[in-house]
Amino acid sequence: MTPIMSKSDAADLVVAARVRKGLTWAQIAEELGAPVVWATAALLGQHPMTPEQAGTVCGLLDLDDAVAESLRRQPTRSTDPAVMNDPTIYRFVEALSVYGPALKELIHEEFGDGIMSAINFKVDITRRPDPDGDRVVITFDGKFLDYRW
């Protein structure tokens, strides 16, 4: 019996094949018919894919059934210390450390007692030209879930 490929090993193979094939994440997402941020996160191991999606990606990238099987599995989501050392990811943590309490207060003031869902959730990234250097615009769009007592 062959051991199950880890999601991180599958992600490494996906990244290598994407680079080798000269494809962008956006091109792969378009082939999947999925939003680019979701598709990228799924291919990096953070979401399970349907058998059809996994098959499409593996066909596009010439990857085998072991990768497809891994892409279909549920992830274990955690904060990997190695990932947290990446400067880009650390800046997101830093931004939420600084602005998280203020955003929480503003959500409560505007919506009442509750939270923004990270399950019923959309995320998008765009580039906005600016004379002082292009800007990264990230949109979190989560359903408000009120606390019910």
Give the residue numbers marked as catalytic. Answer: 91, 94, 117
List 141's β-bridge partners, or say none.
Answer: 122
Read off the amino acid at residue 145: L
Q: How far is CA 102 from CA 96, 99, 105, 107, in A?
A: 9, 5, 5, 9
**Cβ burial, residue 38 (10 Å; 0-12/13-18/19+):** middle
Instruction: Please tell me the distance from the alpha carbon of residue 71 to that of residue 67, in angstroms, as a whole number.
Output: 6
Phi, psi of 15, deg, nearest 5? -60, -45
Q: Can you tell me which residue has the tokens 């931004």?
A: 95
Nearest to 92 by CA among 53, 136, 126: 136
